[in-house]
């Protein structure tokens, strides 16, 4: 009833600026998206349409079966944090890598990657490993920038290495297969760990004072540390290996993971009722936040679609005449910039519904059984490839100013290192992350190889 006030596309742009303004004013992003989306739909189509959406939208969003995996993986990570899995992983990694100069920092990276595979959350990984590894790195006289930078950067591995909550959300948004996305994340995740260790090796080679001389653990101690971590590795193998082998879907896999982690904690007498209750509360709070953001993102997407914003962006991309890879790189740069302003999950939910239609059009339209012309791959493969690239650049937002959530977390745990030193410490890792993006852009097969192999 208010169509005469403003054209739909203009209203969509106005809503975009309003959303950014509300985020800058520190309104929770879920409320900001619900407010902008609700007002926008009301102006375009009237309050009756908006109220009708409220009646069914929440149930339609929250009853998606695939979403049930989110609280289960969150609970598995919360329980793993409570029972001290991060400590066991760090000690085992240090037993095998401690003989290298910078080996303790490399051990922190390996432990972050393995714990992220159980936890699935970057912030939880950074927090847990910060409490476990940071005191040890400081005791060994590592420089403050290398110690804090390593753990802040290592925490981002939790967002990509399966199981990843953000990866699940991305798959739901673009209607990709979650198992396929988990398969695709394997090789890029391994490359990340190797690149991070290479970055540490280069840093300690250029600045020897950043790390002490290496010390080798004796054989008995190495065996003990390895035995202690075997149950953790078996839990990871049961969860992710079962998914890769097709034994079960992600939701039952997550349930099995919760059960195994709980049993492991009870056997070791490290899971008390107080810890279990705290883990359940943490899971409920985080799940509620994620579900509310999902609702807001869907409302905003409906408004923007009715205003024609995604369609206009796709048309502009086609008519611009720019090469497909140039458009893709521009979208990835935009994700890096947005990552400096908001958290990773909110960013994925906010921008992927608008970026994805652009890439589909650039790639030659919807998949109809033939390879797309734009990137030389089908739309299904493009979903996988772009998803991994997007998550990698989203990782960068966790260690870049001014938000840099992982940097804030680690700076809060370190009393002797300033935030500026921590940002300095993450720069080598930021550099190798850009190299990883360039490598995956040049060689999409690194992302697509495992899904094609296991599903082909």
pLDDT digits (tens, 9 = 90+) for 433-455: 999 999 999 999 999 998 888 77
Angle between helices 309-320 and 8-24 (to 10 degrees): 100
Q: Could you give the CA distance from residue 72 to residue 256 in angstroms, rounded to a whole number? A: 9
Q: Could you give the CA distance from residue 48 to residue 127 in angstroms, rounded to a whole number? A: 46
pLDDT score for 440: 95
Torsion of CA 167, 173, 176, 179, to 10 degrees: 30
Count H helices, E strands: the chain?
22, 0
Tell me the three-class secondary structure of 14-32, residue by residue: HHHHHHHHHHHCCCCHHHH
Tell me the three-class secondary structure of 229-267, residue by residue: HHHHHHHHHHHHHHHHCCCCCHHHHHHHHHHHHHHHHHH
Average pLDDT over residues 61-90: 82
Phi, psi angles (nearest 5°) of residue 64: -65, 125
Q: Could you give the CA distance from residue 222 to residue 227 in angstroms, rounded to a whole number? A: 9
> Which pair of structure tokens corresponds to residue 154?
């290592």
pLDDT digits (tens, 9 = 90+) for 398-407: 888 766 778 8
Q: Could you give the CA distance from residue 117 to residue 146 in angstroms, rounded to a whole number? A: 23
pLDDT score for 6: 52
Of 19-23, 204-208, 211-215, which gets the smallest average pLDDT? 211-215
Cβ pair 359, 313 in contact under 8 A: no
DSSP 207: -
- What pTM was computed for the model? 0.85
More confident residue, 217 or 132: 132
């Amino acid at each position: 009833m208010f169509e005469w006030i403003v054209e739909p596309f203009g209203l969509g742009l106005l809503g975009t600026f309003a959303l950014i303004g509300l985020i800058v004013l520190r309104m929770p992003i879920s409320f900001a998206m619900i407010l902008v989306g609700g007002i926008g739909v009301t102006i375009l189509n009237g309050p009756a349409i908006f109220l009708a959406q409220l009646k069914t939208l929440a149930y339609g969003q929250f009853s998606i079966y695939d979403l049930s995996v989110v609280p289960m993986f969150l609970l598995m990570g919360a329980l793993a944090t409570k029972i001290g899995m991060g400590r066991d992983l760090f000690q085992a990694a240090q037993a095998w890598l401690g003989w290298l100069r910078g080996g303790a920092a490399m051990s922190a990276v390996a432990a972050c990657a393995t714990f992220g595979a159980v936890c699935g959350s970057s912030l939880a990984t950074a927090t847990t490993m910060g409490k476990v590894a940071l005191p040890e790195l400081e005791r060994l006289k590592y420089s403050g920038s290398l110690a804090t930078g390593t753990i802040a950067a290592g925490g981002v591995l939790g967002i990509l290495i399966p199981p990843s909550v953000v990866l699940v959300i991305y798959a739901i948004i673009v209607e990709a297969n979650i198992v396929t996305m988990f398969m695709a994340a394997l090789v890029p995740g391994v490359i990340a760990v190797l690149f991070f260790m290479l970055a540490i090796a280069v840093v300690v080679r250029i600045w020897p004072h950043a790390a002490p001389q290496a010390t080798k653990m004796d054989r008995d101690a190495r065996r003990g540390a390895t035995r202690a971590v075997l149950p953790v590795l078996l839990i990871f193998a049961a969860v992710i290996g079962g998914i890769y082998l097709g034994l079960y879907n992600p939701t039952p896999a997550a349930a099995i993971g919760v059960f195994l982690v709980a049993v492991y904690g009870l056997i070791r007498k490290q899971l008390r009722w107080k810890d279990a209750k705290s883990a359940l509360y943490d899971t409920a709070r985080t799940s509620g936040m994620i579900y509310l953001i999902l609702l807001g993102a869907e409302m905003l997407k409906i408004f923007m679609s009715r205003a024609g914003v995604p369609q206009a962006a796709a048309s502009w991309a086609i008519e611009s005449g720019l090469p497909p890879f140039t458009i893709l790189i521009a979208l990835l740069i935009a994700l890096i910039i947005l990552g400096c302003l908001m958290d990773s999950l909110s960013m994925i939910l906010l921008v992927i519904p608008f970026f994805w239609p652009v890439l589909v059009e650039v790639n030659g339209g919807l998949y109809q059984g033939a390879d797309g012309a734009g990137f030389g791959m089908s739309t299904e493969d493009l979903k996988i490839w772009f998803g991994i690239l997007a998550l990698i650049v989203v990782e960068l937002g966790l260690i870049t100013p001014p938000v840099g959530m992982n940097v804030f977390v680690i700076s809060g745990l370190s009393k002797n290192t300033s935030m500026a030193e921590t940002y300095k410490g993450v720069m080598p890792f930021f550099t190798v992350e850009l190299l990883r993006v360039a490598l995956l852009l040049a060689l999409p097969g690194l992302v697509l190889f495992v899904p094609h192999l296991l599903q082909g």
